[in-house]
Amino acid sequence: MPTFRISEAASLLGISPDTLRRWADGGRVETTTDASGRLAVDGAALARLAEELADRADREVGEKAQAHSARNRFSGLVTRVVRDTVMAQVEIQAGPYRVVSLLSREAADELGLEPGMIAIAAVKATNVSVEIPAAESARSSGSAAR
C-alpha cells in the first residue's frame, strides 16, 4: 500500500499540513514513517479520511435527497455563473477541484445560482477514464519490489 508524506496527503485532502498533523496527533488519522523516516499516512487510512470528510461535507450542506442515482457528489462554493439567453455556465470550487457545469439558463435561474453560494455538483457519467500519475506508478512499482 502506498504511503504519502504529510504535505502530499494534506494537499490531496485540500487542507493544510498543520491541520493534518493536528488530526494525526488527535488520533483522527493513523500515521507511520516512510523509508526516509518522515511522518507519513498510509494510503488506505488517507482514503478513509477522505470519505469521512466528503460525507461530512454532504451533511453540512444540507439534507440529502431521499434517493438519487449519482454517486459522485462534490460540495463546494459557486465561484462563477455566466448566463446567456439559453444556457448558463456554473463553476464550483469543491476543495482542490474545479467543477464546471453547462445547464439551461432557466435551471440556473430557478436554483438562484450566484457566486458565493454553496452547491453540490452531482456527476453521473457513462464514460470515466482513470489514470495513474507517473509519480504513483513509480511509487507502486517501488513498493512491490520491497
pLDDT in 10s for each residue of the chain, 146 residues = 688 899 988 888 888 899 999 999 999 998 998 888 899 998 888 888 887 877 676 665 555 555 566 677 887 888 899 999 999 999 998 877 888 999 999 999 999 999 888 888 888 777 777 777 876 656 655 554 44
| Strand-pair partners of 93 | 77, 98
> Can you give the C-alpha Rg of the chain in angstroms?
19
Which parts of 26-132 fold into alpha helices (H)?
43-61, 105-111
C-alpha cell at 122: 452531482
Domains of the chain: 3-63 (1.10.1660.10), 72-123 (2.40.50.100)
DSSP at 27 = T
Q: What's CA 57's distance to the chain center, in Å?
A: 10
The contacts of residue 137 (CB under 8 Å, 6+ apart) are none
Distance CA 49, CA 29 (A): 7
